[in-house]
Structure 1
Amino acid sequence: MTQALLDARIGYFVRKGLTAKVPSQWQVRVGWLAMLPITLSESERERVRSRSTFMGQVPVRVPLQLLYHPAQGLADTGLTRDARHVVRHLLSVFHEDAFLGYDLQLLESMPGGLSLLSREAQRVVDGTTRWAPYLRRLVGWPTYHADLVRLAEAALQGEYPDPLDLDPRFATLTGFATFCASLPNWPELAFYGFSKESSDVRD
């Protein structure tokens, strides 16, 4: 992860006035540790829906999700990934609407990202991809991919799902960015006396 990448992803929303500043790499890494338990868990609403089919049971679905897209086996913020990675993750892993704000904003920060999600989700709905029957069973909810199309189109207009009772720090990318920017930043090299300027002061 580079600061230039953060400037591109999160700076997009700073320019839109949805968050105040771009956090540093250190702040994002620490923020990610705080978000990780949320990322690896399911809400009660997700659990009820995603496990409604045999293929939706965790011991069955996880190997199949990794077969479809192996890279999603590594949990991260998504900030270093490209749009195709995020889309394949969303197509194969059920997310309740309230959790989708984060990934929708992530795709919005990538040129063509939301349009790609809309197209690929529509292909699953229409059955024009060979993966369609498996993806429908994996997510375990009959309207999920159609909902992705609808939500992607809404996000293109700047409208995001209601986060309901979810932690606002992690329900959207802008919430995460705001949280990260509030964390202490890693001290500059001068703090430890490693920089030339700090050496000059001591001399």
Structure 2
Amino acid sequence: MDKSDDNPSSDHGARQSQTDFAGGWHPTFASTKRYLIIGAVSFVLVILLTTFRSHVLPTNPNKSNTNRGGPMSMINLVSEGLPANYPFQSDWEVTPRHLKQLMDEQGDYVLLDVRLPEEYKISHIEPNTFIPMQELAGRLNELHGREDDHIIVICRSGQRSLQVAEFLRQHDFTDVHSLAGGINQWAAAIDTSLPQY
């Protein structure tokens, strides 16, 4: 009789303990324990690195904490008429409550609506300047003399108005912002009589 058959620590015995009834590889308790320890250590390292990265390393002020770019404002978004998870960009947007305050105080601003005519018919905020986004480049002269005015651009949800705000800034308009959330957010937070679409 071969001594390796009686010795469970022999190579042959170890191979047999690692095979299942179908002949495939089956880990021993020792190897399973090793994988659990490696997994636990890896998990702890990921948590530590994530915490270190978010709390210790300096952030790049040119990089966004949002999906759309630009720094997050520290304001309470809900009290400003926005959903709590809205990716507000204070350099590029004004909140619905900010616009409402300007209107109530009869502040000096231009509300530029850049939606399509059929959208404008559904709902709009008065007073405004209505120039559809597709026509803006050809009608830019209508804003001549307003280059230093506070211009708030509005569209349905805030996407097109951000593009127009960027376009206007590139054309020497110095104080241009988009209405965060567009007219639909205005209708949800400020003037619920307006239909949302």
TM-score by length of 1: 0.21
Bigger proportion of residues as strand: 2
Bigger radius of gyration among the two: 2
Q: Which has the higher contact order (CA 8 A, sep 6+)?
A: 1
